Amino acid sequence: MKASVVLSFKSLAGPTDSPPEQRTSSHSRKNSWRYCLDHGSSIRYWLFVLIAGSRCFHAKYSQRFSVEREVGPWKLTAFQRLNFTADDVLESLTMTDKILGMGSTGTVYKAEMPGGETIAIKKLWGKQKETIRKRQGVLAEVDVLGNVRHRNIVRLFGCCSNNECTMLLYEYMPNGSLDDLLHGKNKDANLVADWLTRYKIALGVAHGICYLHHDCDPVIVHRDLKPSNILLDGDLEARVADFGVAKLIQCDESMSVIAGSYGYIAPEYAYTLQVDEKSDIYSYGVVLLEILSGKRSVEPEFGDGNSIVDWVKSKIKTKNGINDVLDKNAGASCLSVREEMMLLLRVALLCTSRNPADRPSMRDVISMLQEAKPKRKLPGTGDNAIAAIPLAQKANVEC
């Protein structure tokens, strides 16, 4: 019986069964292979993680370093002798919170330099996708503007730039702009200029634009002449600012966005897209109408789609309409002042002629303005001077 049981077990095991020692050795080899496979997969996984992580790290930080190299160091290009450095300019911007103005081209800050000078810093809006060629074009144009020297043009001290940002350094104008004088918040209280002051400003602007058109080589066309771009120094002498800046920020060949401001753009620009000296003459005529009327270039009372040019031309066709055009705050109620203002009104209408060929040159404008020079002088002024009343007083013209 026992023998049969043993034989039956042997028969179940089969003739190919190995001895117990061989079975143990085979089992250990299988476990070894399984161990190697498991650990090999783990090693491959962690190796993959390590390689992927190192590549991400390298891509991130190499990009950051390349951006830093592209931005580059700050460079100060001076157009006259300066007592400050690029580091002084950057430090002054971090310490100032005085914003003088903000427009389509950038933000203007008032900044104090270590030597005590007060300057205006215009930080142009940067464009990250600007090409190197366009940045070089900006600096080349700044170099042209840096050579401009005229008493009625704001001096450009220099340009502070790197490959990503450009800052223009101007002389500081303590009395703000013509826009502040004519349309400021305190106009109804005390900021009112009499006709002598307004005439002086109009003549100064004409001299500045005449210099750009006739005495500069190549000719500089302002392309954005308006009261906010006409600054006033301590003596209320007009200084034309931001001339050529539209060119500085030009990003393509089209000028449909940056060549002028609404209400000051010559009508031919709508169908030619050409801006030349005659375009500046038109803008000057609009500024002259603002000086005469005290109104903005575009106001709701003019009607939809109408500018101050349309409004003035419609008013002068009506009886006594001229009374609505000339600003009484400038002294228009006085007969002699009124006559002088009407002479300049004729100049303004010539400048804003619809046909560019009918507009005078700026030299002709200056000749006409000088013929209309006020015959009165304020007490304490010289023979050739035209004084301005203090800003804190109302205009009080003696007829």
- In sequence order, the 6+-apart residues with CB closer than 8 A to the CB of 132 are 163
Q: How confident is the model at residue 59 (pLDDT cuts 50, 70, 90)?
A: low
pLDDT of 281 above 60: yes
pLDDT of 33 above 80: no
CATH class name, domain 178-371: mainly alpha
Structure tokens at 244: 């050529």
Please count the other Cβ atoms lying within 10 Å of the Cβ belonging to residue 304. 5
**pLDDT tens for each residue of 170-186:** 999 999 999 999 988 54
Looking at mean pLDDT, say which of 4-8, 47-51, 177-181 comes out highest.
Answer: 177-181
**Distance from C-alpha of 153 to C-alpha of 387, rounded to nearest angstrom:** 19
pLDDT of 10 above 70: no
Structure tokens at 257: 């966005």
**178-371 and 75-171 share a CATH fold:** no
**Closest of 240, 204, 195 to residue 222, by C-alpha:** 240
The whole-number pLDDT of residue 163 equals 79
Q: What is the pTM of this model?
A: 0.73
**Distance from C-alpha of 294 to C-alpha of 361, rounded to nearest angstrom:** 25
Once rounded to an integer, what is the mean pLDDT over residues 218-233? 91
Q: Which residue has the higher pLDDT, 63 or 149?
A: 149
Q: How confident is the model at residue 69 (pLDDT cuts 50, 70, 90)?
A: very low
**Distance from C-alpha of 330 to C-alpha of 193, rounded to nearest angstrom:** 6
The whole-number pLDDT of residue 63 equals 44
- The DSSP secondary-structure symbol of 171 reads E
Domain spanning 75-171 has what CATH number?
Answer: 3.30.200.20
pLDDT of 58 above 80: no
**Distance from C-alpha of 331 to C-alpha of 310, rounded to nearest angstrom:** 24
The whole-number pLDDT of residue 285 equals 98
Once rounded to an integer, what is the mean pLDDT over residues 352-377? 93
Report the percent of the chain where pLDDT is more than 70.
Answer: 68
Q: How far is CA 59 from the centre of its chain?
A: 35
- The residue length of the chain stands at 399
Terminal-to-terminal C-alpha distance of the chain: 152
pLDDT of 125 above 50: yes
Q: Where are the domains of the chain?
A: 75-171, 178-371
**Closest of 132, 149, 141, 281 to residue 211, by C-alpha:** 149
CA distances to 153, 181, 366 from 386, rounded to whole Å, are: 19, 17, 16
The whole-number pLDDT of residue 62 equals 47
pLDDT of 12 above 50: no
Active site residues: 224
Once rounded to an integer, what is the mean pLDDT over residues 128-155? 70
pLDDT of 41 above 60: yes
Once rounded to an integer, what is the mean pLDDT over residues 346-365? 97
123 among the known binding-site residues? yes
Question: What is the CA angle 92-236-179, rounded to 5?
Answer: 75
The whole-number pLDDT of residue 9 equals 39
**Closest of 143, 202, 152, 147 to residue 173, by C-alpha:** 152
The whole-number pLDDT of residue 31 equals 59
